[in-house]
Amino acid sequence: MFKSLRNIDKKGYKPQHGALDIFKYIGPGLLVTVGFIDPGNWASNLAAGADYGYALLWMVSLSTIMLIFLQHNVAHLGIATGLCLSEATMIYIKPVYSKLILSSAMLASISTSLAEILGGAIGLNMLFDLPIRAGALLVTIFVMIMLYTNAYRMIEKWIIAFVSVIGLSFFYELSLVDIDWNSAMTGWVTPSFPQGSMLVIMSVLGAVVMPHNLFLHSEIIQSRQWNLKDEKIIKKQLKFEFLDTFVSMIIGWAINSAMILLAAATFFKTKTPVTQLEQANHLLAPLLGEHAAVVFAVALLFAGLASTITSGMAAGSIFAGMFKEPYDIKDNHSRLGVAISLLVALAIIYFISNPFQGLIISQMILSIQLPFTIFAQVYLTSSSKVMGKYKNSTLSKITLYAMGGIITILNIALFVSFL
């Protein structure tokens, strides 16, 4: 069964130091990476590669850099204070603002769960011709069983396995196509704005940093805490946390890049536009064979399952934080938060006729809420009252606020484009 994440290993025990010590810290970042490669990103990445070839790879690099800074910063909050972002918001921000931030974060979590469940359901539809609504129900049941019955470390292993399957699937797909690596190398480091590409650019950059991931990372990072009173341990945690975050985000960068590379080498090369995930699956079969289409669908299914699990965990953390409590699946507040996010999202799916339109609407809701979360996070991590000597430096604060401003502008522009 689940244990409260910040109660794990808090018995005065200190980890043994050695060459393999780093592996004890790897894991939380990979759970966050799932949100970076969720079904909502797939459509944007495939559209980028299909419409513009390798030209927009740079946006994956830029979004990954911003994500590393923001996720490291919120993990820093969890390690230094022993609080998740939701708890810290309730404790240190005035009630009138904290309630608004966290209530909107719960709505964003429902929106996220809707997109993730839909992604898994689309994957089941591709593989077994299962109706979207039936697939959504199966995905929700599977995820709730996982969350309510498995211990945290077991879920972490499942997520790592899911991410591995997704990554290996795309590497297999890439082995079937001829990549123009010179163009790819240029695309990764050279910003370009092909005519008509702004919507795709905003869609990818504006949706990469997701509110639920910021709440989730500050919570799950505490499963790696051994002794908050020992400053040496805190410093060690901060060092290894950054490495975990960095490596995990690079894995996300590689998988997102692989999506664009695949689309560029197939759909862009044949001048075939792609607007929906189901369409991409059907188009891959004649280009690369049935096996490639099946592998694509399997990867999407695993992405949907993994991201729905992390979305549910984030909702539990947000809701429990409203009561100034840590995430603990045995506690009613955490259990209720998980149920609200997943079941409300499932109910909405049963009332929408166009799944693709549902994905778009879910991204619109995220774009509205994200600025509230980012600026609350930077405010908290820049406060001496909250962080003590571990608060953001002046340079870090300026950098983080600038990134928050850029992401906010992109999300507002993305929201306006949908109107």
Task: Give the helix ranges, DSSP H, for 82-197.
Answer: 85-92, 95-128, 132-149, 152-175, 181-189
Tell me the domains of the chain and their CATH numbers: 43-418 (1.20.1740.10)
| Angle (nearest 5°) at CA 318 between 135 and 5 | 95
pLDDT of residue 201: 84
| CA proximity to 302, closest of 28, 30, 39, 29 | 39
Phi/psi for 93 (5° steps) reads -110, 140
DSSP string, 375-408: HHHHHHHT-HHHHGGGSPPHHHHHHHHHHHHHHH
- The confidence score (pLDDT) of residue 410 equals 77
Report d(CA 112, CA 416) in Å as an integer: 19
The whole-number pLDDT of residue 74 equals: 95
pLDDT of residue 89: 98
What is the reported pLDDT for 229?
56
Angle at the Cα of 356 (from 418 to 139), degrees rounded to 5?
130
**Distance from the Cα of residue 156 to its chain's centroid:** 14
**What DSSP line would sit under 112-129, residue for residue?**
HHHHHHHHHHHHHHHHH-
Are 37 and 303 a contacting pair, CB within 8 Å?
A: yes
Helices (H) and strands (E) in the chain, counts: 17, 0
CB neighbourhood size of 291 (10 A) = 13
What global pTM score does this model have? 0.88
Tokens of 20: 């393999």
| Residue-by-residue pLDDT tens, the chain, 419 positions | 334 555 444 444 444 444 455 556 566 788 888 877 888 788 788 889 999 999 999 999 998 999 999 999 999 999 889 899 999 999 999 999 999 999 999 999 999 999 899 999 999 999 999 999 999 999 999 999 999 987 667 888 888 888 899 999 998 999 999 999 999 999 999 999 898 888 788 777 766 788 999 999 999 887 655 445 567 777 777 778 888 899 999 999 999 999 999 999 999 999 988 877 777 877 788 878 888 889 999 999 999 999 999 999 999 999 999 999 999 999 999 999 999 999 999 999 998 877 766 766 776 778 788 889 999 999 999 999 999 999 999 999 999 999 888 887 877 777 776 66
